Amino acid sequence: MRRKTTRFGRINLALASAAIAAATMVPQTGFAQKGQPVRDDIVVTPEMEERLTAWLTGFRRDAMAEGITPSTFTRAFQGITLDVKVLELNQKQPEFVRPIWAYLGSALSDKRKADGEAQLRANRTLFDRLEAQYGVEREVLAAIWGLETHYGTYMGSRNVIRSLTTLAFEGRRAGFGRTQLIAALRIIQSGDITPKAMNGSWAGAMGHTQFIPTTYLAHAVDFDGDGKRNIWESHADGLGSAANYLKASGWDTGDPAVREVKLPEGFDYALAGRSIKKSGEDWQALGLRTASGDVLPRRERGLQAYLIVPAGHRGPAFLAYPNFQTILRYNNATSYAMAVAYLAKYFADDAPIQGTWPTDERPLTLSEAKEMQRTLTAIGYDTGGVDGIIGPMSRKAIRGFQGSLGQPQDGFATEKLLQKIRAAAR
């Protein structure tokens, strides 16, 4: 049974493009990690074990200097070894990524929707309390819970101290691993959880709503009142912590997150992007209308928003408001934020996306994205480097090339566009 609410039913939450990485990159959440393949082609050698022993000796001194007691350190690191799977995952950079429409299809599965409705019914009193204290709508909290751990059914089974030790020991996330490892030790020292029970994802995200240790220290709450911030076993603590984090990050009760819009003929797609923010009134003056063709609601005309075209000019377009950016602070991948938004829309009995996705387009693989960056730079469109991530500089270069062809400058990187870039370089 879906609960209709006028205060939230009017909030048109919607989609956006990718955030840190490519527009189609799957965000690193419990939902994304589930089922991720791992090859056992890395082994822990005796030399690595010796280096780990030496590293732990030095890290122990650092931990003591930061207030970690000897007893806490000893309990946390008893029998600790490197995690081969974490070493493997830390070195991998996925070659193939799903297009946004495929990601949404998985994220917004019928089972996730049905299970979320059941949780909203079963926890009605809890959600009443959460809304009253933090002002974050229950639909949003349920959506985050559903996407992070499928309502607590998949919270990760790797020991967090072991995972973070492995990350901190060596590799591209050593700095992250060390910072989170110190924070994890502080959590253990506080008495909220034991080292053995502190489980999570391979990258250290924990509990019902997948907090990393530093976020836990800053925002976790004891919402069930038992004296511990136990986000692993208490869904009340997990949801309360997520609500506290969203509120601290700027969530405004009753404001929209995203609005699907129609663009006028001949619209300048160079205006799409996070860096270009205008009031809803200004966007409306440029010809934008709601998906149904109406003027923007009065409340939205005074909010600052940026325009998103996550699948280029052939796909749906959206205005992203400040609450959407707050979701991004929870996980800075816009594909994740839009999944949260649309799952929340479903729970609120709001309309789904009206536009259609260009499913005949194929987003680039990692190696193709690097080739596009190299080739664009070679023909005079500077992408700012070659890393396979289609960020602002790469999109600017793509738009420049599209403009030279007289095409809409939407900055959307596809295999068809790569073919044209290759032809121009010959």
**CA-based nearest residue to 300, from 13, 4, 1, 80:** 13
The token pair that represents 343 in the structure block: 């799952």
The token pair that represents 328 in the structure block: 């991004």
Q: Helical H runs in 286-414?
A: 298-301, 322-330, 334-347, 366-378, 392-404
Single-letter amino acid code for the residue at 285:
A
Out of 131, 137, 139, 148, pick the active-site residue: 148
C-alpha gyration radius of the chain:
23
**DSSP assigned state of 319:** E
**DSSP assigned state of 218:** H
> Strand 304-308 relative to strand 277-279: parallel, antiparallel, unpaired?
antiparallel
Please provide the DSSP assignment of 146-214 as one string: HHHHTTTT----EEHHHHHHHHHHSSTTHHHHHHHHHHHHHHHHHTSS-TTT-EE-TTS-BTTTTB-HH
148 is catalytic: yes
Residue at token pair 């601290």? 248
Active centre residues (catalytic): 148
